Chain A
């Protein structure tokens, strides 16, 4: 097993799937010669040629619509939005067509495409380069919305997304891209979409997150244990939609307390859905109000203030203590 960054792990997933299946095509802005602005597609055009890895003209809507046409013909397009902040041009194609064509054609057609995009803050980026708008996609019936948190699960989830028969939006936490390395096996590893994971067991409180926010959440769990002797159970959603509520509702039945963490704005965010599921399915076990530690309902600030906007371990630990003392 090699130790890899998330960028390297994603690159391996793309390379291996392209080797296995010649229907897999990678396309987007600067993904070919340049290997992508974050280098996720590095070396792929050299290996597979410009008929498998396309540097497209600059048009996000068309990159999505073009991918839909490819997928309808039977190819497996993986398109890249350079930043998720520019993927809104593509939402129309995803909402009006990719998500609907299976149903509209009553099963005759499907759109097995993946739309990849780096998302999230913490890298001192420009405006439009730090947002976390997964709720926009998760709200669209017919799409799947996947958000890995580390190199190993990113690779295994991307493989599943590429093989999935339905359209998948795959948000990559750019703050994690090169933040740390993890052992990633060379041999095939697939994580099924729509399944969350318990990444740390505990009986006192349930911390739920996904994507880049898994890391401050896990740091908060460490702090709670060290300073408070509290055993937090931590759940990584991995897939935002379809949401797997089996583990966190079960966990809350055990702990009676929950904190939900995401960097997306709070109102109407994925956390609201998580809380609703807990209320619907584990209400009688609750011992304290559920806390949400999230981004605020503001425009993502320029980077002088992004540290104040983004949830950190201290904020999460404080929210957990409040839930524990209620």
Chain B
């Protein structure tokens, strides 16, 4: 009865293709079509400019609190671009870029963060779940979707997003465990942006990588440079293919950085040094990818200026549409919609009650 080493064939790869200095590992560089590369770039840029504009709007009191996404563009775009439109996207609350990639409307973002429930609507032909705010909880739905997909004999894949903080939640571990047991076609994308509000990655987990958490469940785990859109995409393509062909789930840890605030209610100066931010600014995924495309001649300075201009217009038009909508009177009774397939008697009574209140208080701007 000896004591011996159990030989577990486990290790965690780290993948980087395009580094912060713009040098490319030619052996790993994927041969992606130009239109795909340009589309990735456009959505990354759109996301960045939209984030900046939303911050201004929030500071001016024109929309409410939202989670900023600047700095995460490569992680979100690189991964979501590996999906087909028939696949499922299960976001947390920071993946604007992934939602924009799948045709999400800027106007709906503005309305949602402007306080309109109506903007939670997901078009019938888009297989996105609504954003999920309780950290890590959405990982469980992804695995349920994945199980259902396999049970119906379909080859759809589910991609679920969460941050480094979510890896401390039990929900995440339960989801990984079920995904392993049932070999569900789920790609877990951990955007490790180093900070869960004020708690640094080092205080979130003693694990040297977050990717290695997959190994406990006998799921492949890989760590990638999350600011390198080519590396994220390559890892995601591999994981999506594995999931689609019956190979089960994968955990991809994308090492990135939250260059901006957690949400508009956050003040990072309370907990992190500017010097650290400055280091990560040099690793910014957007100029890195832009320079790569410029160097390859896929993008030109004039084309870039054109794209900037088109994005500016697109955002302005969305802001105009959203603000026009926000100036229209709100129907307070809308809150009673979609609670159940059929409104309950108590809801009917309460709806009537609010209706009477509104009639009695006509012109009273205090809303009760």
| A pairs with B | yes
Looking at chain B's contact residues, the main secondary structure is helix
Min distance, Cβ B36 to any Cβ of chain A, angstroms: 28
Are B174 and A59 neighbours in the complex by a CB distance under 8 Å? yes
Are B129 and A93 neighbours in the complex by a CB distance under 8 Å? no
Measured CB to CB, the nearest residue on chain A to B150 is A51
Interface size class of A (residues with CB under 8 A): 35 or more
Q: Interface code B117-128, partner A: CB below 8 Å = 1, 0 otherwise?
A: 110111110000
The complex places the Cα of A110 from the Cα of B342 at a distance, in Å, of 12
Are B146 and A106 neighbours in the complex by a CB distance under 8 Å? no
Min distance, Cβ A70 to any Cβ of chain B, angstroms: 5
Min distance, Cβ B92 to any Cβ of chain A, angstroms: 12
Known: A51-B151, A65-B174. A141 touches B121 (CB 8 A): no
Are A72 and B145 neighbours in the complex by a CB distance under 8 Å? yes
Min distance, Cβ A249 to any Cβ of chain B, angstroms: 11
Residue B263, interface by CB 8 Å: no
Are A101 and B340 neighbours in the complex by a CB distance under 8 Å? no
The complex places the Cα of A59 from the Cα of B337 at a distance, in Å, of 33
Known: A102-B340, A244-B345. A61 touches B147 (CB 8 A): no
The complex places the Cα of A70 from the Cα of B140 at a distance, in Å, of 10
Instruction: Count chain B residues whose beta carbon lies closer than 8 angstroms to a beta carbon of A.
Output: 43
Measured CB to CB, the nearest residue on chain B to A273 is B346
Measured CB to CB, the nearest residue on chain A to B335 is A103
Are B151 and A242 neighbours in the complex by a CB distance under 8 Å? no
Known: A70-B147, A73-B145. A104 touches B345 (CB 8 A): no
- Which of A68, A107, A110 contacts B140 (CB under 8 A)? A68
Are B121 and A105 neighbours in the complex by a CB distance under 8 Å? yes
Residue B130, interface by CB 8 Å: yes
Measured CB to CB, the nearest residue on chain A to B148 is A73
Are A72 and B171 neighbours in the complex by a CB distance under 8 Å? no
- Which of A62, A70, A243 contacts B171 (CB under 8 A)? A62
Residue A32, interface by CB 8 Å: no
Are A103 and B177 neighbours in the complex by a CB distance under 8 Å? no
Measured CB to CB, the nearest residue on chain A to B132 is A97
Are A243 and B346 neighbours in the complex by a CB distance under 8 Å? yes
The complex places the Cα of A52 from the Cα of B144 at a distance, in Å, of 14
Known: A69-B143, A141-B339. A108 touches B122 (CB 8 A): yes
A-B CB contact pairs (8 Å), 28 listed: A57-B174, A57-B181, A59-B177, A62-B177, A62-B178, A65-B144, A65-B174, A67-B144, A69-B140, A69-B142, A69-B145, A70-B145, A71-B144, A72-B129, A72-B148, A75-B148, A97-B138, A102-B338, A103-B117, A103-B337, A105-B122, A105-B130, A106-B122, A106-B337, A108-B124, A142-B340, A194-B344, A242-B340
Closest 3 CB pairs of A and B: A69-B144, A65-B140, A73-B148
